[in-house]
Amino acid sequence: MNPWFKILRPVNAFMGLFSIYIVGFIAVNLNIFDFIIPLTIGAISVFLVTGAGNIINDVSDMETDRVNHPDRPLVTGAISKNNALYGAAIIFIMAVILSIFISVYISAIVAIAELLLISYEFKTKKLGLVGNFTISLLIGMIFLYGGFITGEIIKMILLFLLAFFSNFSREIMKDIEDINGDLDRLTFPKKHGIKNAKILSAIFVVLTLSISTFPYFLHILSIYYLYAVLIDDFIFIYTIILLNKNISRGEKVSKVAMIFGMFSFLLGGIS
């Protein structure tokens, strides 16, 4: 396999690409075809940012990958660290330039996302809650990005909050699960204890549940969303139960809940 293809992890990047079309459908339903060109440009820019982010991730994790992923291109020497950084920088710049064809504001959002991604990989992911906040913000920004492209930013703010809160809870769960292996990271459970970390994770699940039905009652999404999200709420409640029983399983169930939540959003776009 070509080392550049491998380091970009295109399957992961394509998931980001398709998510823009999903968010576009949620925002404007069948009118998505009226926005197909800006959405396509936005989707390609997300693909580029995700791919460059994967390169940056391999650079920042190069030493740990010598043990955990010895076949990765930077570890094997198939790509040098400097060339990887140059490649990531070029791809990041391409994403910003491409998004200018939508608008200057859109390109500014792309640039901000890139800076957040770089700061996360090289700094904030080692700082506990700051890193949790950064990655959750990046996850939620996909909805804001689609909202700005389609002109439905108000509609997307609530979905951004749902994605942010639910992902923040899962990030804490992951930190609890990895507490023994995070030797170079001052995570919340390492600093404040596992019990307090479980409480914080549960709080963010409760925050998610407390606003989960708002998109329906505020006429942002249809009745189909309400049916689906009520099921999703029970999955999230189950993650709270698992916090005190099996944190590894709880983290996995939380991921399922987030994926089902995206499906709920998609159903809600059908009017």
CATH of the domain at 164: 1.20.120
Are 143 and 202 found together in one domain?
A: no
Output the pLDDT for position 183.
61
Q: Please tell me the predicted confidence (pLDDT) of residue 243.
A: 84
- Domain containing residue 271: 154-271
Q: In whole angstroms, what is the distance from residue 146 CA to residue 138 CA?
A: 13
DSSP 8-state assignment for residue 270? -
The pLDDT value given to residue 255: 86
Number of domains in the chain: 2
Q: Are 190 and 88 in the same domain?
A: no
| Rounded average pLDDT per 10-residue block, the chain, 271 residues | 83 83 84 90 94 90 76 87 93 96 93 94 87 92 91 89 93 83 74 90 95 93 94 94 84 88 88 70
Burial class (CB in 10 A: 0-12, 13-18, 19+), 237: middle
Together in a domain, 124 and 236: no
The pLDDT value recorded for residue 206 is: 95
State the pLDDT at residue 148: 92
Say whether both 6 and 131 belong to one domain: yes
| Domain end call among 99, 134, 151 | 151
Is the separation of the CB atoms in 124 and 134 below 8 Å? yes
For residue 15, give the CATH number of its domain.
1.10.357.140
SS3 for 78?
coil
Does 236 lie in the same domain as 102? no
